[in-house]
Structure 1
Amino acid sequence: MATGRQQPPWQQPQAHPETSASLPPLKIYNSLTRSKVPFVPLDPNGRKVTWYACGPTVYDDAHLGHARNYVSTDILRRILRDYFKFDVLAGSSETPPIADVKGCLKIISRGRQQHLFTEFVVAHPAVNAEVISTVTTAYKAYLKKNLTLLDPDLPAKRYKDEVEKAYATVLNGGALVAGEKAGDNEAKVKMHIKTVSSAAKALVEASTSGTQILSESFYSSVQDVLLPYLDTLYGSTIPSEDYSIFTKLTKKYEDRFMQDVRDLNVLDPDEVTRVTEYVQEIVDFVEQIVKHKFGYVTSDGSIYFDITAFEASGNSYARLEPWNRNDADLLADGEGALAQKTSEKRSKGDFALWKASKPGEPAWPSPWGPGRPGWHIECSAMASAELGKQMDIHSGGIDLAFPHHDNELAQSEAYWHENCANDHWVNYFIHMGHLSIQGSKMSKSLKNFTTIREALSKGDWTPRSLRIIFLLGGWKDGIEITEDLIKAGSAWEEKVNNFFVKTKDLSPEEDSSDAPSDDVLAAALKSTEDAVYQSLCDSFHTPGAMYAISELISKFNSADKVSLNAKDSYAIAHWITSMVNIFGLNGTAGPDSAQIGWAGIDVPEAAKPYLYPLAAMRDSLRQAAKAKTAITGDMLESIVEKGTAAPTEASEEAQPYQQLLTEFSTKVSSLEQADNITKEILILCDRVRDIDLFDLGVYLEDRDNQPALVRPVTKELLLAREEKAARARQKQLEKEKKEREALEKAEKGKISNLDMFRTNEFSAWDEDGLPTKDAAGQEITKSRSKKLKKDWERQKKAHEAWLVSQK
């Protein structure tokens, strides 16, 4: 990235307040201050950065909402590491960014439910009357709890009609409450409707089918209504010490999650912490909070955080989102099943640090009896165990700000109360915005999501295209994927791709012309570097950086390519390559890579041994045709020999290219017999470029007095080809229309003007065949007679023309 040019004054680094260490003028939007503040690491040397990122709740496949969080986190991490050169990846266990995989209540209940469901299926392999009865009861219980506008005893066969009537407003995009805007509550209702719809359909088929239905299909359809029902019946029978029941599910989805984010080119964390591996540290953490008199024990052995005592000692609670501290819904969501009403809580906002386990829940030993961690304490204990009393950055999705991160802050500062300087556990809290779909955040609980692996496998997204969308949207703002945003992302990607296709073969030493350096283009590069620096110093404002890069490419595209100095072109291409690598848009390539461009701008390696000889043969043919000298058989034979160096054994991937080379060589050899050999050569060269190679995804870019460039077909070229084909089709349609109209006109001219009106519509005519009376014997009016005369004259001309055409 270094250019050797002097930095402007505004780019001069700031200094670390303690050691005068050089720092970039980077400001980060800090959720703690709700403002942009200078970024100064705790490290006295100003380079090492400690970072803890809240990980996923791994009980299902990761979706695009997760991608939004972790890809955006990855972008910021790369910018800190590769652009600002902070030591974020120190390789030391002392200062790693850490992601936690939480074994929270959702995992407990889902793991338990999956275990019970598997047992039920094994015990009932066939769908019989007992199974149908159990599922019917589960269906009714689900209706009663989740779709309260319906009669819980509603027969499955009537469900479709009744739900469409009862929830018509929601199904048509409206809100549950008149006058309000549809959001998460409506999305949740739609999710429940879909869940019950699947079960109701399966029940109807199972009850009416004359043949036995497939149990696998049936259980798949009813699983989501059966799981909670089985849990109410048998959940309490699960042994609390059998942790494998609960961790089996998390292990499966943790592995799948890690693969999903790797597929999105997200860097691995230096360390992954798991709750089940930190239970003793959590117990010790809770003990210390109680010792500091910020936690209290209830009669059942649960521990709650005492918000009143915490604030009375001069601390502040809910610093991230103080306006939400009394939000009952958020408090309930934050506690989940721990939020069971208890008269022993001193304040409704107090939250569980440790909870006595109920039957069917995992339990670990503690000074207060068998229990399990509260949700918030997990992150505090794990991060403190790895990072100590303070960290630079803590990140996560914005939905975690309250109560999760606010509670993390409170309990951690309560734990470090006597040792933490200024009681600041985290210096910078950064929260990624939501990814929305139809106005509602993408969520596993709402089931309104597309999984990462589904989106990638279907080709809806690529790791690059999705990352570009997030870069265009900024990290802390909510993003709703719309058609306009998708088009903007595609346009940016295609613009950069075309730029790289044009510049991929440049090198710093190449300069085919004696042209002086282009001061305008050099100034444009410098201006863009400065604009990107300003944008990224402004709290990682990637939309501004992306726009600046796009504008630089526009200036390059409009420059005079004939007089353009190759070194100027290389400087621009190298810098843009560095930036897309920093943003993670090019796989594992680093910012200092000497290679120009990103993956996808070159033809397949397996094709090259056949494409390059073919291109060389074609260049020689075109050169011979343009020379306007006699083309002999010996000349053609010499040209064909250029293709004999290609390997005779081709891999399966290379076979189409080998076949095309063979066919092209044969056609070249046969040109000696052509009547107009020059014309046939040019036709053959155009066809292999425009059709044969293009259909294989390869394009030959012809250049004056230089070999053609072998390029992959881009979206721009595909669009141009489609537009050209559309114009050709339109031209053909217009031609056919004219021919048809001419034919119709000629056919119409067959009839003589003397006979054209001798029909039943009239009863008398003059000597020229013009009507004088209508069918009823009434005289033709003067106005009508005048009109008929004009038609007669037109037909006379058409008939005379037809007579001429017949001669």
Structure 2
Amino acid sequence: MSQPPWSQPTGTTHQPELKVYNSLTRSKVPFIPLKTEQISWYACGPTVYDDSHLGHARNYVTTDIIRRLLRDYFHFKVKFVMNITDVDDKIILRGRQRHLYEKYKQDHRYIDDKVRQDARQAWLYYIQKNLKRIGPRTLVTPETFDGVIEHFYGDILAGGSLEPGTKAGDKEAKVKMHINTSRSTAKALLLDPKMLTPHEFYNRVNDPMCLILDSQFGRDIRGDDYDVFTKLTKEYENRFFQDMHDLNVMDPDDIVRVTEHGREIADYVKKIHDNKMAYRTSDGSVYFDIKAFEAAGYPYARLEPWNRGDKELQADGEGALSQKDESVKRSEADFALWKASRPGEPSWPSEWGPGRPGWHIECSAMASGKLGQQMDIHSGGIDLAFPHHDNELAQSEAFWADGSHRQWVNYFLHMGHLSIQGSKMSKSLKNFTTIREAIHVRREWTSRSLRIVFLLGGWRDGIEISDDMVVECRSWEDRVDNFFLNAIENIKDARASTEQKPVLQDILQDAEGKVRAALLDSFNTPVAMNVISSLINSYNSAKKSDLTEHDHKNIGLFVTRMVNIFGLNGNEPANTGTIGWKGIDISDDAKKYVYPLAKIRDELRQAAIAKSITAEKVQEIVSTSPGVEEPPFSVRPPKPSAARALNDFSRSALEAASAVDSGDLNKQILALCDRVRDVDLWQLDIYLEDRENLPALVRPVTEGLKAARREREEKSRQKEEAKKKREQEALEKLQKGRLSPAEIFKPPHSDEYSAWDPDGVPTTAKDGTALTASRLKKLKKEWDNQRKAHEKYLAATQNGSAGQS
């Protein structure tokens, strides 16, 4: 009894046109949930042993975008369950290593000779384990490390591959990571002990010390000492959800943790065993029996059948601590459901003895427990397709085997990777930027800008971090920022709506239709984002005097609705009845000072541009400004504030009016207007956008404005540097002319010749032989060039531009 590669769910849906790319079919198929208007969704969550990085942001933000589209755009009710992997091989290793290293540091609070010797031994051990080209007989010391690395790994550092004829990738990235780690430790060992604090020293030698301590003492940790591991996982789970909140990712409806379901997972494994699709090994482990599963009529490796025989992926799926004796398995492809715990590993009781869940079984057991025999969607990063999700699918259908051959998951959604320099961003490769570092420390990204990047890329496609990608993201955000500001401002001045049809109504309806068609086409957000950009361009190109109030409002409300649905505006509901997103307005406290300031600045600036400013005019305009009392000056100058900017501007304008004549007053006032815009308000994150024949637009300083200013400043810097370089080269060229042509071939400037003509051109070589005709011709040309340079130098000297000698 065979099962088809994929069974199309039958039933009805209120969104019959919606199609979704399904990894089970590797094609777009109609989306038909098990229950009309309701979706059951299980997402693979984080393995919590380190901070989340931008690669994780790619997965979870993109998942959040699709979840919001299904809920807020297509109006499904979504039950979203996510797991937390808080026990697996990586966590066991990291938790154990961290525990042992913390204990070592407590026992050795000061960096003495014993600690440095331990670190040196750990460093050598780390090199032997991870840099295999450096054989055990190679003498390597911290002093000689760079030379040894250049000898053995120079080709890899230069971009080469470990295997000739192949492209460098993750393997080479991992080698570079181990080299960097070893180099950092070597430098710590070379430095004078007084140059590093204990904290700094221990940080630099962390990885080698953790590795050797675990090899020496890891087995001594008791299997029921769960605190060794949960101390690590609880900390990083909390940090993960803090990161998700910073990225505006919605919380799951339900969270399941492996450590809270040990008994249920053991029972789940038992049923698979009872269904004759698993077997127990001599060490107390339980393996999934792929041959028995297929003999029962089920297909295996349906997501990525081409990877079925990939031993590297299979080994990675089993984990670093798994059974190394392959002879215990009936087939190479069989995988562990339950692992007999070895010394130093956490364990839970089972009928096979102390053990712990295999990696894949946790999701099957917990998802089945929450969502039952079938679910609509299962999601995760594309790297989970095989073996993780393929194994989940197999063991779950083995668990639920009742003769009906029902499909456990109807739609698998796999998010594309975020890569850097051609390599997947990965904790194990250490080629990542953490989410909190990117947002809070470097401030390279915001929640909104990262989400825009992922919206501009297909959800299942890989995204490469590049300058072009950053520019595209910033341009889109700036375009929407400016649109909202202009639409809100234009509504104030728009003529009242009449029976007249809005000018842009057809363009708006066309855009709405194109956005819907794109999102129905497997959530094609890149097309939807481009349609929104084109709509804004059409709005900007329209003659404002022709537009009705409805034009501004309708387009503003549509764009607002879409950015809300995409999650670009916090957790605002789709339809708020207002226009805009967070960040286009300044605080209410600042408004009461900035708007009066902007008003008097506009009046002064327009008068100065018209060259009609007078001291009396300045007095008249400034007198309309509300006075602001400031606290008395104390030891420290007061912090910049909107009130202070208003007072300083008013005072400076009055002082200028009383200090300069009317001819210079226009320039002085314009300079003050520029300063308050570019300096005083800018440092308060407020910008006045000057507009022709219109009042300046008051707006916050956005990332786009900051980037544009940085680019202008960089261009200005480069221009100034180029100018200085040209001047220096001209000066050096001029200085070469200081020497008279009659002297250039004579000592001390040259000792190659023994006789010269009256002009100083050589006629005889040093040994007394006559110079050849060709040589004389060349020397006369050099002499003539020097004559011209000398004449320029003399001319420059007379007008003082030749510089100092």
Relative to the length of structure 2, the TM-score reads: 0.82
Q: Is the 8 A contact 1:302 1:352 kept in 2?
A: yes
Shift of 1:138: 2.5
| Residues 727/57 of structure 1: CA separation in 2 closer, same or farther (3 Å cut) | closer
Whether 2:449 is the aligned partner of 1:465: answer yes
Q: Is the 8 A contact 2:497 2:550 kept in 1?
A: no
**Identical counterparts, % of pairs:** 50
Whether 2:277 is the aligned partner of 1:287: answer no
Whether 2:14 is the aligned partner of 1:32: answer no
Q: Is the 8 A contact 2:382 2:416 kept in 1?
A: yes
Shift of 1:216: 2.2
Q: Which position in structure 1 is the counterpart of 2:698?
A: 710
Q: Which position in structure 2 is the counterpart of 1:529?
A: 512
1:233 corresponds to which of 201, 216, 230 = 216
Superposition pairs of residues 775-790 of structure 1, within 5 angstroms: none
Shift of 1:564: 2.3
Distance in 1 (CA, whole Å) between partners of 2:447 and 2:710 is: 27
| Residues 648/279 of structure 1: CA separation in 2 closer, same or farther (3 Å cut) | same
Shift of 1:417: 1.1
Q: Deviations over 1:557-580 (max 9, x none)?
A: 211123222321221122112111
Q: Is the 8 A contact 1:702 1:708 kept in 2?
A: yes
Shift of 1:727: 8.7
Moved more, 139-148 or 54-63: 139-148
Distance in 2 (CA, whole Å) between partners of 1:312 and 1:729 is: 71
Q: Which position in structure 1 is the counterpart of 2:427?
A: 444
Query: Which AA in structure 1 matches 2:31?
Result: F
Q: Is the 8 A contact 2:611 2:666 kept in 1?
A: no
Superposition pairs of residues 517-596 of structure 1, within 5 angstroms: 521-596=504-579
Whether 2:93 is the aligned partner of 1:101: answer no
Shift of 1:331: 0.6
Q: Deviations over 1:446-469 (max 9, x none)?
A: 111111111112112111121111
Query: Which AA in structure 2 matches 1:583?
Result: F
Shift of 1:667: 4.4
Structure 1: stretches of 5+ with no match in the other structure: 1-15, 89-94, 742-756, 762-772, 779-783, 803-807
Q: Is the 8 A contact 1:398 1:433 kept in 2?
A: yes
Whether 2:77 is the aligned partner of 1:75: answer no
Query: Which AA in structure 1 matches 2:48?
Result: V
Q: Is the 8 A contact 1:622 1:685 kept in 2?
A: yes
| Partner SS for 1:98 | strand
Q: Deviations over 1:620-676 (max 9, x none)?
A: 55688899999896x866644532265757999984322221123334556775887
Superposition pairs of residues 299-448 of structure 1, within 5 angstroms: 299-336=282-319, 337-418=321-402, 422-448=405-431
Q: Is the 8 A contact 2:613 2:665 kept in 1?
A: no
Distance in 2 (CA, whole Å) between partners of 1:470 and 1:239 is: 44
Query: Which AA in structure 2 matches 1:222?
Result: V
Q: Is the 8 A contact 1:290 1:296 kept in 2?
A: yes
1:161 corresponds to which of 121, 124, 147 = 147
Q: Which position in structure 2 is the counterpart of 1:659?
A: 644
Query: Which AA in structure 2 matches 1:166?
Result: F
| Residues 390/718 of structure 1: CA separation in 2 closer, same or farther (3 Å cut) | closer
Shift of 1:724: 11
| Residues 691/416 of structure 1: CA separation in 2 closer, same or farther (3 Å cut) | same
Superposition pairs of residues 507-522 of structure 1, within 5 angstroms: 507=491, 511-512=494-495, 521-522=504-505
1:485 corresponds to which of 469, 472, 476 = 469
Q: Which position in structure 2 is the counterpart of 1:120?
A: 104
Shift of 1:540: 0.7
Shift of 1:100: 2.9
Distance in 2 (CA, whole Å) between partners of 1:724 and 1:224 is: 41
Structure 2: stretches of 5+ with no match in the other structure: 1-8, 731-739, 745-756, 764-779, 799-805
| Residues 274/606 of structure 1: CA separation in 2 closer, same or farther (3 Å cut) | same
Query: Which AA in structure 2 matches 1:104?
Result: D
| Partner SS for 2:410 | strand
How many residues align structurally?
732
Q: Is the 8 A contact 2:615 2:657 kept in 1?
A: yes
Q: Deviations over 1:466-500 (max 9, x none)?
A: 11111111110111112222222122222222222
Q: Which position in structure 1 is the counterpart of 2:179?
A: 193
| Partner SS for 1:338 | coil
Shift of 1:230: 1.4
Distance in 2 (CA, whole Å) between partners of 1:75 and 1:459 is: 22
| Partner SS for 1:588 | coil
| Residues 201/725 of structure 1: CA separation in 2 closer, same or farther (3 Å cut) | closer
Whether 2:592 is the aligned partner of 1:609: answer yes
Q: Which position in structure 1 is the counterpart of 2:75?
A: 85
| Partner SS for 1:396 | strand
Whether 2:626 is the aligned partner of 1:644: answer yes
Q: Deviations over 1:562-602 (max 9, x none)?
A: 32223212211221121112111122222212332222222
Query: Which AA in structure 1 matches 2:267?
Result: D
Q: Is the 8 A contact 2:656 2:668 kept in 1?
A: no
Query: Which AA in structure 2 matches 1:660?
Result: A
| Residues 302/629 of structure 1: CA separation in 2 closer, same or farther (3 Å cut) | closer
| Residues 670/334 of structure 1: CA separation in 2 closer, same or farther (3 Å cut) | closer
Q: Which position in structure 2 is the counterpart of 1:753?
A: none
Query: Which AA in structure 2 matches 1:256?
Result: R
Q: Is the 8 A contact 1:621 1:681 kept in 2?
A: no
Q: Deviations over 1:33-77 (max 9, x none)?
A: 11101111111xx21111111011111111111111111111111
2:42 corresponds to which of 39, 45, 52 = 52
CA RMSD of aligned residues (A): 3.9
| Residues 515/564 of structure 1: CA separation in 2 closer, same or farther (3 Å cut) | farther
Q: Which position in structure 1 is the counterpart of 2:33?
A: 41
Q: Is the 8 A contact 2:657 2:665 kept in 1?
A: no
Q: Is the 8 A contact 1:505 1:596 kept in 2?
A: no
| Residues 722/474 of structure 1: CA separation in 2 closer, same or farther (3 Å cut) | closer
| Residues 684/700 of structure 1: CA separation in 2 closer, same or farther (3 Å cut) | farther
| Residues 676/177 of structure 1: CA separation in 2 closer, same or farther (3 Å cut) | same
Superposition pairs of residues 670-685 of structure 1, within 5 angstroms: 683=667
Query: Which AA in structure 2 matches 1:470?
Result: F
Distance in 1 (CA, whole Å) between partners of 2:712 and 2:189 is: 52
Distance in 1 (CA, whole Å) between partners of 2:713 and 2:153 is: 49
| Residues 636/130 of structure 1: CA separation in 2 closer, same or farther (3 Å cut) | closer
Query: Which AA in structure 2 matches 1:30?
Result: N
Relative to the length of structure 1, the TM-score reads: 0.82
| Residues 693/368 of structure 1: CA separation in 2 closer, same or farther (3 Å cut) | same
Moved more, 321-330 or 706-715: 706-715
Query: Which AA in structure 1 matches 2:22?
Result: N
Query: Which AA in structure 2 matches 1:524?
Result: I
Distance in 1 (CA, whole Å) between partners of 2:502 and 2:423 is: 50
Shift of 1:404: 0.6
Superposition pairs of residues 239-258 of structure 1, within 5 angstroms: 239-258=222-241
Q: Deviations over 1:283-337 (max 9, x none)?
A: 1111111111111122222111111111101111111111111110011000012
Distance in 1 (CA, whole Å) between partners of 2:554 and 2:49 is: 48
1:175 corresponds to which of 161, 166, 172 = 161
Shift of 1:725: 11
Q: Is the 8 A contact 1:522 1:568 kept in 2?
A: yes
Whether 2:482 is the aligned partner of 1:498: answer yes
